[in-house]
Amino acid sequence: MKQHTLTADFCRKYLNAAAALLLAAGLVLSAGCDGKKAVTPPKDNASSSASSNTSDGSNPPEQTESAASEVNSAADRLAGTLTGETTVKKQRSDANEIRPAGNCASLLNPLKGYADDKAEKMRNGILATGNTEQYYKITGKKYYVSADGDNANSGLSPTEAIRSVDMVASLSLEEGDAVLFERGSVFRLTQTISPISGVIYGSYGSGDKPAIYASPKNYAADNIWQPSLKKNVWKAEFSYKQAGSMVFDHGKEVGFLKIAGVDQLTSNTDFYHNADEGIIYLYCDKGNPSKVYKDIEICSEMRIFALANDVSNVTIDNLCLKYSGDCAVAGLEKNSDITVTNCEIGYIGGIEFGTVRYGNAITLWNGCGKFNVSNNWIYQSFDTAVSPQGSAGYEYTSITFTDNLLEYNNVDFEWYDHSASAKWRNIRCDGNIMRFTSLGWGTRPNDASYRGIEGCLRGATANFDFSGFSFKNNIMDCPGREVINWSMSSEQLAAFDMSGNTLYLNKTYRKIFNSNPAIMRNLNNAENTAKYFNKDVNSQTLEEIWRLWDKDSSSKAYCFD
């Protein structure tokens, strides 16, 4: 799935309008952080090639907090604990501090929804899951990876753990084996993980889920940024091919990618990457970025997990996967029996692909069978949280997408194939909570119309052999644009099994980027699209639109000003 390049000036224009609308609605806006709680420091493996821990920088002084932060503590926030390190041994950031991108194509602050309590309960449950062996039987060897390990070790016991993720590629893995990462550790990739058929990748130990980042290091460390020839523009070495995004202080701000050169950098967090020079440039008028921010992550083009052709029977469980400019988990072709459970996945995507940008949290390309994504927290994906897709006309069967918490993704669940010969069978999308869809950092406030790639559900199946779709007991809480964006046939819609779903619309949120965004698009026929596209909505019209999609009386839709 692809998206046009984000335009910074457009973002700022619409965010100014967004702020005015939110203030008018009486919403609390702040850019500060709430108080921190004591947590166990993680073990940071910042240098994957070293045999002992090395410093990843020092903490700059505490920044001044907004007085509104006390009031904002009552607002709904992304609870739990997210990772991000400034030293090898450090206090992790409490995720109650996490904010959606403050100056990009997203809201300035967390939103208040109508399923906050249910979302918090689900989020806390996902973050508190046990280790992988509690859920999956490991029949072969167990290999252990820890930030306190040593690459000279065998890896066959916790006391003999290897240290770096990159060493996993050298292991002689066989079907039935498992690679277990120690909780509390932070690992930074220098190469993508290529899963082996029949192998489980999971967690052991105690503490927070083990974190694997595609950001090479914390760029807020000392002696990284140097002044450039342009006022307020700083430069640092970044030898990777692409920088999909920059994330500041665990999501308080997300950078604007400029592609025409350093002269385009005019506002804070604007950045430009010169791949030929191996230099990244950042606009910061507050001084050296290392002194302004505690954590700066640059999302490289590396996928975190990349499945080769025909790789099957792979489980990824209980990991925290973040800061990839591409994808967190990606399959290449005809992957089957792929399971992703109990994971936290955030800030994914944004690298350039020709004249567009892209990046999904979890995606399988060109066919799949037995694809299970359950009990994960996925947030701030540039394109889509989960997407089986392709172009070769293969079969997509037994797809299970259940009990996930999805927040601030541009799209939550997407499926399509460019070939009309593709077959889709038995897709189950049940028990998910989808919140603030198309209101995250990856949503472009382009032309007050539509981009075509938004929605809690986005599909293109009108010309396909498509059957066996279940959509039950889902909550869609305050989507910013289309709720359903799906071209389908009348016969397909009539055959869908739907019940117990709940939709909450907030008109103020929906007008942030668009005066009257569509509720549903491409649903059944052009007449319905024309009738409900760019039309103002109230409780009566919402009920009428909703019944086009879900005719079951147990499913409800609510509209709030």
Place of tokens 């117990």: 500
Per-residue pLDDT of the chain (561 residues; tens, 9 = 90+): 433 333 334 344 334 444 333 333 333 222 222 233 333 446 766 633 333 333 233 333 233 333 223 222 222 223 222 223 322 222 233 332 333 333 333 334 578 899 999 999 999 999 999 999 999 999 999 999 999 999 999 999 999 999 999 999 999 999 999 999 999 999 999 999 999 999 999 999 999 999 999 999 999 999 999 999 999 999 999 999 999 999 999 888 889 888 889 999 999 999 999 999 999 999 999 999 999 999 999 999 999 999 999 999 999 999 999 999 999 999 988 889 999 999 999 999 998 877 677 889 999 888 788 999 999 999 999 989 998 887 777 888 899 999 999 999 999 998 878 788 888 889 999 999 999 998 888 776 654 444 557 789 988 887 788 889 999 999 999 998 888 888 888 888 888 999 999 999 998 888 776 666 777 776 655 555 555 555 567 777 788 888 888 889 999 999 988
Q: How far apart are CA 7 and CA 173, in angstroms?
A: 45
Nearest Cα residue to 2 out of 350, 323, 240: 350
Residue 112 is given by DSSP the state: P
Strands 142-145 and 2-4: unpaired
Residue type, 258: K
Place of tokens 């999956």: 136
Put simply, whether the predicted model's pTM sits higher than 0.85 gets the answer: no
Report residue 401: phi and psi, to 5°. -130, 90
Specify the DSSP element, H or E, that contains 485.
strand 484-487
Hey, how many other C-beta atoms are within 10 angstroms of the C-beta on 229?
Answer: 7
Strands 185-188 and 226-227: unpaired
Token pair recorded at residue 529: 């699209």
Cα 410 versus chain centre, distance: 9
DSSP string for 233-291: EEEEE--SS-EEEEEEGGGTEEPEE--S-GGG--STTEEEEETTTTEEEEE-TTS-HHH
Q: Are 237 and 219 in contact (CB under 8 A)?
A: no
Q: Are 155 and 145 in contact (CB under 8 A)?
A: yes
- All structural domains of the chain, each given as residue ranges with its CATH number in brackets, are 127-207+308-560 (2.160.20), 226-299 (no CATH)
Nearest Cα residue to 318 out of 214, 183, 439: 183
